[in-house]
Structure formats: structure tokens, C-alpha cells
């Protein structure tokens, strides 16, 4: 039996619902992180390697240019999710986020947003903003970096939040109909 017969992957689910392949286009919004800038901590989480997820040159390009560039790199898809991945993509004033998110949503062939963030950086105003896009018919995903559900391990890897924080924001997001994707590091206690 093949994997696709046993597991409904994210890509398969999107293809089934949209009738064609949907690809995530990673974007750099120029955000920082409260665990790097001194608000919560310094130096970031122990596992954080910015080079693995952030095209530092991209942060200087407008969102629409990043989308055009990324879409040109992907030949197999005609529909896209704008994926704000680098750093903490809710760590800005709501008006700043709204401008960036809407610039992405207005681009051709964008069917939704994926917003990567920390569970302690999602105020109600951001949830309301994302819920508004969902109500307009966009695919909206809040991608929360939990890493582990063990509070001792969260402290050891310098996360700056606990599992209860994650559980609460997940509950609030789902109550608004926002889909939640949880990032975990396999093997952490």
C-alpha cells in the first residue's frame, strides 16, 4: 500500500479541495521575534537557525515582488498560499500586518494565507483580522511553533512560553474557524 493511500497529506487535501495543486510560497515580512529582541529573551530559541527559513534578501522586497519571484520558481502549481514564515509573522502592529497580508491576498492566484508565529504573539486583534479573511472565503492557517508540549523542555530550549499558552491560543483560533497547524520537533521530551 502506498503512502498516499494511508495518509491524507496537506498537499493531497488542498488538491482535492481546489481541484489542482496548491503550493505554499514563503515570504519574508521583515519581522523580528520577541525572543531575539529582548522583549522575552535574547538570542532566540536554542534550535533557531534563521538561514534555514529566511531569505534575508527577500525582506527588502515588497510582498508582491516576493510572490512573483517565488511563483516563478514553482512550475507545478497554479494556485498558491502566501506563507509568512520567517521569524514571528504576527509580531507587528495590526495595521502593518493588515497591509502586508492584504498585499499578498490581492496577488493573482493566491487562495489564502499561512501565518507562522509563536503562541504568545497572537493577540485578539490578529485573530479577528485572520478570521475576517476566512469569512471572505480565503484559506487561513495559523502555524504555531509549539515544538514540544513539555513545559520543562520548552524552558530548556528557551521558548519563553508554556504549553498552556499554546492551548489557549489554539482554542481561541479554532473558535473563530481559523485552522491551526502545530510545528513540533520530533524527539524532544
Q: What is the pLDDT of residue 148?
A: 86
- Alpha-carbon span 66 to 84, nearest angstrom: 11
pLDDT digits (tens, 9 = 90+) for 106-146: 998 999 999 999 999 999 999 999 999 999 999 999 999 89
pLDDT for 56? 60
Is the domain defined by 24-184 classed in CATH 3.10.300.10? no
Give Cβ neighbours of residue 5 (< 8 Å, ≥ 6 apart): none
Q: Quote the pTM value.
A: 0.88
What pLDDT shows up at residue 21? Answer: 93
- Judging by DSSP bridges, how do beta strands 79-84 and 139-147 pair with one another? unpaired
pLDDT-derived band of residue 57, with 50, 70 and 90 as boundaries? low
Amino acid at each position: 500500500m502506498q503512502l498516499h493511500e494511508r495518509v491524507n497529506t496537506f498537499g493531497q487535501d488542498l488538491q482535492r479541495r481546489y481541484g489542482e495543486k496548491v503550493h505554499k510560497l514563503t515570504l519574508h515580512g521583515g519581522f523580528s521575534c520577541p525572543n531575539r529582541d529582548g522583549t522575552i529573551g535574547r538570542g532566540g530559541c536554542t534550535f533557531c537557525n534563521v538561514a534555514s527559513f529566511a531569505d534575508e534578501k527577500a525582506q527588502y522586497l515588497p510582498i508582491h515582488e516576493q510572490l512573483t519571484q517565488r511563483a516563478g520558481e514553482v512550475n507545478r502549481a497554479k494556485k498558491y498560499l502566501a506563507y509568512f514564515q520567517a521569524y514571528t509573522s504576527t509580531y507587528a502592529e495590526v495595521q502593518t500586518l493588515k497591509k502586508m497580508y492584504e498585499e499578498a491576498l490581492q496577488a493573482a492566484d493566491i487562495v489564502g494565507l499561512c501565518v507562522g508565529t509563536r503562541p504568545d504573539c497572537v493577540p485578539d486583534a490578529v485573530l479577528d483580522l485572520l478570521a475576517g479573511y476566512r469569512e471572505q472565503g480565503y484559506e487561513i492557517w495559523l502555524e504555531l511553533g509549539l515544538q514540544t508540549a513539555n513545559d520543562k523542555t520548552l524552558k530548556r530550549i528557551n521558548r519563553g512560553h508554556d504549553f498552556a499558552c499554546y492551548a489557549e491560543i489554539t482554542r481561541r483560533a479554532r473558535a473563530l474557524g481559523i485552522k491551526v497547524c502545530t510545528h513540533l520537533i520530533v524527539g524532544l521530551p
